Chains A and B, each alone.
Chain A
């Protein structure tokens, strides 16, 4: 998204531009569909009229109007396909001209089909309603007044003589009955103006609600960003002293060498452990905030098979220390997914770390990596403490650690799985877990070959 463009669609703020060019186009395409229906309606209606009664002089202009509407609409459709919706003012002007043409053609159809006698005169309402979807207050009334004007001119023209009156069916000549004509005019005026008023009010109300929502959303986005900046600042500021303190303790331990009393060495070891843990939390937090930055990921084709193999190699030592057996089913050829290499590596490392950390001594870790239709599936199974049903969802909450996990080790930040889930979501993937408490867990990751998430 370009800088400075607020999220969502601004409406009332910029005078004429209460709709975006793109959203106006969506509606314009929809009206074009309606117009096909109208043109076909005119043609079918004139064919039906030809079958039943009316004379050729009546049918010919009606068919001509129907064909003209078809041609015009074909032009509109082609134009919409060719020209991208960019300039909202030009789009609005075009839609308004189309609506004027529609009203003129409707009046012509009514003229050839009985004028004031034709009950289809109320189709004008459709135009007023459409206008209220597209335009604002004054412009809606302009359309309503145009419809009223055209209809009134036609009716008066037929009543007073300049226009020839075509009878609808064989009814009596209503256009020359003054009371009927006036009542008909009056009802059309009333209905059209009322529609315009109601349409304008409802749409005004809707637009102000939408504006408010857009404003609030903008505020939330701003607040989120400020929070994120603060978060990043804090993690950085906290990390530096921890790093320095840990370096100091390690240096002290090194300087003491074997000379120190066991108690002192043990204290220093504990200090290093606690500082490592604190640093882990800060690093994971930094990862999480990184993951939230939409601009941070670097999308490429990534060979997941290579990353898994590399990570397994790194884990060999810690697995051997726990007496764990590895059962790996990995493809020999590269298996690419589309994503951020650093994020994918984090996912693999975190899952394998967990499989080792929460396993029982002498257990096993099974790793499988297989291609699926449109992506890959990567699964890590362990023979460890497992996860109770209630915790299956909560382990993805930030800072949550299952009681069994806490009991087993105080290493662990409660951020590993939230990071896994967030990173995968960002790359259009997902993670699922099944587990039998006391027997082990199975984490299954899916990642698409092509990025389709955003």
Chain B
């Protein structure tokens, strides 16, 4: 089975490293981008199998903008997106992926701080191991 590649887009370099170690330990390949623009470039060039996207980078909703762009591109439209949020504490809105998915083009939310187990479970849900 070829190695699955996951793109991590987050401007917190420490958090990116934590996710990298966690994912590589599980056998995934990890590429990363520290900005939304760079993340979009990498997504188009490399077409990763899954994208982990931080909701809040430079701007409050930069992550959402990136997600919309990804959903627009032919090569990136079908890549599952897991969004990392701490939004509840910032805007007073608690996002509920079930309820809000019609206007939030992502597959899954993971609330920070990240529990490695939870993150891996959610990745596996969207990247089923081929038999």
Chain A contacts to B: CB under 8 angstroms:
235-236, 239-240, 242-244, 246-248, 250-251, 254-255, 275, 279, 282-283, 286-287, 290, 293, 296, 342
Binds A, one of B34-42, B100-108, B114-122: B114-122
Binds A, one of B1-9, B44-52, B65-73, B87-95: B87-95
B116 touches A250 (CB 8 A): yes
Q: Which of A247, A255, A275, A293 neighbours the largest number of chain B CB atoms within 10 Å of its CB?
A: A247
Additional 7 contacts, C-beta under 8 A, given A255-B21, A255-B22, A290-B92: A243-B112, A246-B113, A247-B114, A248-B18, A250-B114, A286-B90, A293-B92
**Does B79 make an interface contact (CB < 8 A)?**
no
Measured in the bound complex, the distance between the Cα atoms of B115 and A107 in whole Å is 89
Mostly helix, strand, loop or mixed at chain A's interface?
A: helix
Q: Which residue of B lies closest to A291 (CB)?
A: B92
A251 touches B89 (CB 8 A): no
Chain B residue numbers with a CB within 8 Å of A342 are 92-94
Measured in the bound complex, the distance between the Cα atoms of B89 and A260 in whole Å is 34
Q: Report if A251-B86 is in contact (Cβ < 8 Å); known contacts: A244-B12, A244-B18.
A: no
Measured in the bound complex, the distance between the Cα atoms of B96 and A342 in whole Å is 12
Q: Report if A236-B90 is in contact (Cβ < 8 Å); known contacts: A251-B21, A251-B22.
A: yes
Measured in the bound complex, the distance between the Cα atoms of B94 and A251 in whole Å is 25
Chain A residue numbers with a CB within 8 Å of B127 are none
Which bracket fits the contact residues of B? 10 to 19
Chain A residue numbers with a CB within 8 Å of B116 are 250-251, 254-255
Q: Report if A250-B113 is in contact (Cβ < 8 Å); known contacts: A239-B86, A240-B12, A255-B21.
A: yes
**Does B25 make an interface contact (CB < 8 A)?**
yes
Shortest 4 CB-CB contacts between residues of A and residues of B? A246-B113, A254-B116, A247-B114, A247-B113
Q: What is the CB-to-nearest-CB distance from A22 to chain B, in angstroms, rounded to a whole number?
A: 33
Measured in the bound complex, the distance between the Cα atoms of B108 and A100 in whole Å is 75
22 contacts between A and B (CB under 8 A): A235-B89, A239-B86, A240-B12, A243-B112, A244-B15, A244-B18, A244-B113, A247-B15, A247-B18, A247-B112, A248-B14, A251-B114, A251-B116, A254-B116, A254-B117, A255-B21, A255-B22, A255-B25, A279-B113, A293-B92, A296-B92, A342-B93
Q: What is the CB-to-nearest-CB distance from B52 to chain A, in angstroms, rounded to a whole number?
A: 12
Q: Which residue of B lies closest to A275 (CB)?
A: B113
Q: Which residue of B lies closest to A236 (CB)?
A: B90
Counting residue pairs across A and B whose Cβ atoms lie within 8 Å, the total is 52
Chain A residue numbers with a CB within 8 Å of B115 are 250
Q: What is the CB-to-nearest-CB distance from B26 to chain A, in angstroms, rounded to a whole number?
A: 10
Q: What is the CB-to-nearest-CB distance from B78 to chain A, in angstroms, rounded to a whole number?
A: 28
Q: Which residue of A lies closest to B90 (CB)?
A: A236
Q: Report if A254-B12 is in contact (Cβ < 8 Å); known contacts: A243-B113, A247-B113, A283-B89.
A: no
Measured in the bound complex, the distance between the Cα atoms of B90 and A290 in whole Å is 9
Measured in the bound complex, the distance between the Cα atoms of B92 and A332 in whole Å is 29
Measured in the bound complex, the distance between the Cα atoms of B91 and A290 in whole Å is 8
B86 touches A243 (CB 8 A): yes
Q: Which residue of B lies closest to A235 (CB)?
A: B89
Measured in the bound complex, the distance between the Cα atoms of B112 and A296 in whole Å is 22
Q: Which residue of A lies closest to B20 (CB)?
A: A251
Measured in the bound complex, the distance between the Cα atoms of B93 and A287 in whole Å is 11
Measured in the bound complex, the distance between the Cα atoms of B25 and A244 in whole Å is 19
Q: Report if A244-B14 is in contact (Cβ < 8 Å); known contacts: A251-B21, A251-B22, A251-B116.
A: yes
Q: Which residue of B lies closest to A242 (CB)?
A: B113
Q: Which residue of B lies closest to A279 (CB)?
A: B113
Measured in the bound complex, the distance between the Cα atoms of B22 and A303 in whole Å is 41
Q: Which residue of B lies closest to A341 (CB)?
A: B94
Chain B residue numbers with a CB within 8 Å of A236 are 90
A286 touches B21 (CB 8 A): no
Measured in the bound complex, the distance between the Cα atoms of B25 and A254 in whole Å is 10
Chain A residue numbers with a CB within 8 Å of B21 are 251, 255
A286 touches B89 (CB 8 A): yes
B14 touches A239 (CB 8 A): no
Measured in the bound complex, the distance between the Cα atoms of B15 and A287 in whole Å is 24
Q: What is the CB-to-nearest-CB distance from B113 to chain A, in angstroms, rounded to a whole number?
A: 4
Q: Which residue of A lies closest to B115 (CB)?
A: A250
